[in-house]
Amino acid sequence: MRELHELSAAELSDAYDARTLSPVEVAQSCLSRIEALDAGINAFCHVDAEASLRMAEESEARWMAGQALSPLDGVPVAVKDLLLTKGWATRRGSLTVDPKGPWHEDAPAVARLREAGAVLIGKTTTPEFGFKGTTDSPLTGVTRNPWDKTKTPGGSSGGSAAALAARFCPLALGTDGGGSIRIPASFTGTYGLKPSFGRVPAWPLSPFGTLAHVGPMSRTVRDAALLLNVIAGPDARDWHAIAYDERDYAADLVQPLKGKRIAYSKRLGHVTKIVSEVEALVAEAAKRFEAMGAIVEEADPPGGDINKLFRTLWWAGAGFLLGDLPDEKKAQLEPALAKMAEEGKTIPLKEYLSATLARGAYGAGLRGFMETYDFLITPSIATPAFEVEKLTPLDDDGNAWLAWTPFSYPFNLTQQPAASINCGYTRDGLPVGLQIVGRMFDDAGVLAASAAYEAADSHHAKAPEGF
């Protein structure tokens, strides 16, 4: 058997069922690795070993009695520190949040994990309020990429992605308002799915509104499907949630790609800045789909460059959240976030409503485009991971991270399911992600296409040196 930290959630579940592994020894292994190695990564901002081991002991008793609550009973899962977790502070990477709480409630995804018997192994780092595509904050400092500790793991679910890449745990929760699951999945060679909006209930609603999704992060597609099975459970607190679908996403993974129509968009018709190695690796990934029998056509979706549209909605969300903080609190914010909040606060109502209307037109155009295609594939991000503490590897033109994430945030606007899967490495050994976008509500299809690609490309199996 491979080392415990190398096992997937599916393998752990099978081993628990066969009584060849105990949730307690797995939790102990995860906690030991975090203690030994996380000082150099800073993936976790909160670890409560006593509580995690108690969950593992309860899980072990259920498995021994033949009463496991779900396949994820006893499987360690990390929780991004934007999601409420009962008994643990949710600081959101900010000095402005009082650690005293009270912390009496779980977010829906966390509640479903508890009901499934999962072991919450800790809370992962995030930039302040998840506002940017890298992970460092005034509260928790810099989070580093296990592939190269001088590089960022991306964000805002960077702590979750780094924890997965470093083999601290097999599963993690992320949130994605403009690419925050897919960016770090790309930078760390892991797998992340932004489900269709409303598929995974969220509460309270993000200050960035209906741009923000909650989704699974993992090292394998099957593990993401197992996690989605759990966190997609209904929760009455989210009035945006779509009707609960009882399907088993893990059971639906084996679907042939032969005959599927795939649009391959190199640059979405407008992207001018992209690292050549990223573009080349994604082109090779498109050929793999052709080799599997898919019909791949170069085609750009309609709508053009929607940078300004997204910027208006995102900046307005920051202004709504933080624009009215007292001066002493504003002084505690990261300067880039404080600037964004001030700019967002001044956006006129007419401009905001116009952007909302334009978003609807853009989304309608993409839905029409997807009637012709089963999937759209693009680069996940325009660059591999870059140096920590930078907001952008490109010249900062006032758009913060938007210049290097032009492939991710469009699909927050449209709310379609979109995933990032490892498709290779740069000459410097940094992972690159392929984005697979599906029709609205076809989360099962995106997972199945991802699983087929994973089977055809073994890059995902590689671990960072030292982990």
pLDDT by residue (tens digit) across 215-233?
999 999 999 999 999 999 9
What's the mean per-residue pLDDT of the chain?
Answer: 97
Residue 182 structural domain: 4-461
Catalytic position from the list 13, 29, 59, 80? 80
Is pLDDT at 204 greater than 90 in this prediction? yes
CA–CA distance, 367 with 369 (Å, rounded to integer)? 5
pLDDT at 280 over 80: yes
Query: Max alpha carbon distance in the chain (Å)?
Result: 62
Q: Give yes or no for a contact between 233 and 216, defined as CB atoms under 8 angstroms apart.
A: no
User: What are the residues whose beta carbons fall under 8 Å from the beta carbon of 437, sequence distance 6 or more?
Assistant: 375, 376, 377, 378, 411, 416, 417, 418, 446
Element (H, E) at 23: helix 23-37
pLDDT (mean) for 143-165:
98
Average pLDDT of the residues in 387-408:
85
Are the beta carbons of 374 and 445 closer than 8 angstroms? yes
Lowest-confidence pick of 59-63, 236-240, 389-393: 389-393
Is the alpha carbon torsion for 391, 396, 400, 404 positive or negative?
negative
Identify whether 80 is a catalytic site residue.
yes
Q: pLDDT by residue (tens digit) across 340-356?
A: 999 999 999 999 999 99
- Residue 306: its pLDDT value, please? 97
Instruction: Kindly report the backbone phi and psi dihedral angles of residue 20, in degrees, each rounded to the nearest multiple of 5, phi listed first.
Output: -95, -10
Question: What is the predicted pLDDT for the residue at 292?
Answer: 97
Asked whether residue 401 carries a pLDDT value surpassing 90, the answer given is no
Q: Is the pLDDT of residue 1 over 80?
A: no
Region 419-441 average pLDDT: 98
Handedness of CA 11, 13, 17, 20 (dihedral sign): positive
Domain annotation covers residue 149: yes
**For range 304-312, the mean pLDDT:** 96
Catalytic annotation present for 52: no
pLDDT(2) > 90: no
397 pLDDT exceeds 70? no
What's residue 45's pLDDT? Answer: 98
Which residue of the set 13, 52, 180, 420 is catalytic?
Answer: 180
- pLDDT tier, 392 (very low <50, low <70, confident <90, very high otherwise): confident
Q: How many domains does the chain have?
A: 1
Query: 437 - beta bridge partners?
Result: 376, 418
Cβ–Cβ under 8 Å, residues 200 and 237: no
Q: Is residue 81 part of a domain?
A: yes
Q: Residue 467: inside a domain, yes or no?
A: no
Annotation marks residue 180 as catalytic: yes
Kindly report, residue by residue over 107-125, the tens digit of the pLDDT.
999 999 999 999 999 999 9
Do the domain assignments include residue 212? Answer: yes
Could you tell me if residue 23 is inside a domain?
A: yes
Exposed/middle/buried for residue 382 (C-beta within 10 Å: 0-12, 13-18, 19+): buried
Tell whether 426 is covered by a domain: yes
pLDDT recorded at residue 285: 98
Determine which one of 8, 13, 156, 408 is catalytic.
156
- For 405-439, b/e burial (b = at least 16 CB within 10 A) is bbbbbbbbbbbbbbbbbbbbbbeeebbbbbbbbbb
CA 443/CA 38 separation, integer angstroms? 33
Residue 130 covered by a domain: yes
Q: Find the CATH number of the domain harbouring 54.
A: 3.90.1300.10
Q: Is residue 466 in a domain?
A: no
CB of 135 closer than 8 Å to CB of 183: no
pLDDT exceeds 70 at position 139: yes
**Angle 150-152-155 from CA coordinates, rounded to 5°:** 170
